[in-house]
Amino acid sequence: MINTIIRIAAIIILAVIGGIVARPHLETQLFTASISRNVGPLDIVAELERSTIQLFERASPSVVQITTLTTGNDSAPSELRTGSGFFWDVFGNIVTNEHVVNDAKAIIVWLASGEHVAAEIVGSAQNYDLAVIRAKEQGQAPIPISIGTSSNLKIGQWAYAIGSPFGLDQSLTTGVISALKRRLPTSKGRAITNMIQTDAAIYPGNSGGPLLDSKGRLIGVNTIGYSVTGSNNALGFAIPVDIVSDIVPKLIAKGRVPTPGIGIVPGDGAALIRMGLEGVIIARIRPGSPAERAALRATNQDGGVVGDVITAANGERIRDVFDLTSQLEHIGVGHTVKLQINRDGKTLEMEVEVIDIDLKSQP
């Protein structure tokens, strides 16, 4: 019995001694295991931060701040505006919004290096809110931002906006693509389709700056931010790069883009509501226009005659003037559009030529 007690006591003493000897090794292992459990998430965050930092460092040298002095008159005095832009190519062409340089009598471009140069308008397209400007004295342009595509964008994809909000130096905002295929009215019954909505903050002064994907490729041109009444939230919108890639080369080459039309002036939609119809009612027709040659009928207020209502174009339903102008832009100048007309309750089909209605030679 005594021998048994002695053996148990010896085992306990050896276990205690072993624990004391092994303690430093065990603590090292536990500390290492604790670190290894934390390294993964920390490394992921650090890598994401490095990617964002590198994206900004690559793209920001090509982004500029734009200051303009607008022409004034008795009813609207001159004013200073600020916006953003970015180098499109190695020839010094800079893309921005049309509303940033509209009516500008002086344009100053502030480079990322801090230098500033006077610039002039190369071309503008009000219907797309896009413009191209170029420095009057050419220097070496920075490497342009890589051009991506907007055709395969997905909601939830990361988005990065660079610009000069409120006239400050460059800033970066991040977010995601919140929605696609938005429509933004511009002017004269026109609208930009397939607009990108993002929650990457777009402040006044960011207009004209680039919207980038996670690889630093251009996916859009930031154009406007809408503040929601009674909320601190805002909706940011960008012109998709596929439209930009189509319009900008035309502005560089010719200074303008065609405005497809058929020579009609749309009427008030209230008459359509009273008639229980949707579409575009013709209020007036330009003399000598394709609409006149096709014998379309305008509204005659004196005679009480209601004009033709365009309800479809090339088989596509027309609900409003934005649908019609979008279809005409898709068809293009020089082609023919097949219109479906409601006239006095009867459905007619007519083919009408699409022309560039802004050309001086046009009616």
Catalytic residue annotation = 99, 129, 207
User: Could you tell me if 193 and 326 are in contact, meaning their C-beta atoms sit under 8 angstroms apart?
Assistant: yes
Nearest partner of 199 among 164, 165, 159, 227, judged by Cα: 159
**DSSP code of residue 126:** G
DSSP lists the bridge partners of residue 63 as 86
Question: What is the maximum span of the chain, computed from C-alpha positions, in angstroms?
Answer: 129
Closest CA to 102 of 73, 125, 76, 134: 125
CB–CB of 83/96 below 8 Å? yes
**Is-contact 184 195, C-beta < 8 A?**
yes
Distance, in Å, from the CA atom of 282 to the CA atom of 324, rounded to the nearest integer, reads 12
Quote the CA–CA distance of 217 and 91 in Å, as a whole number.
19
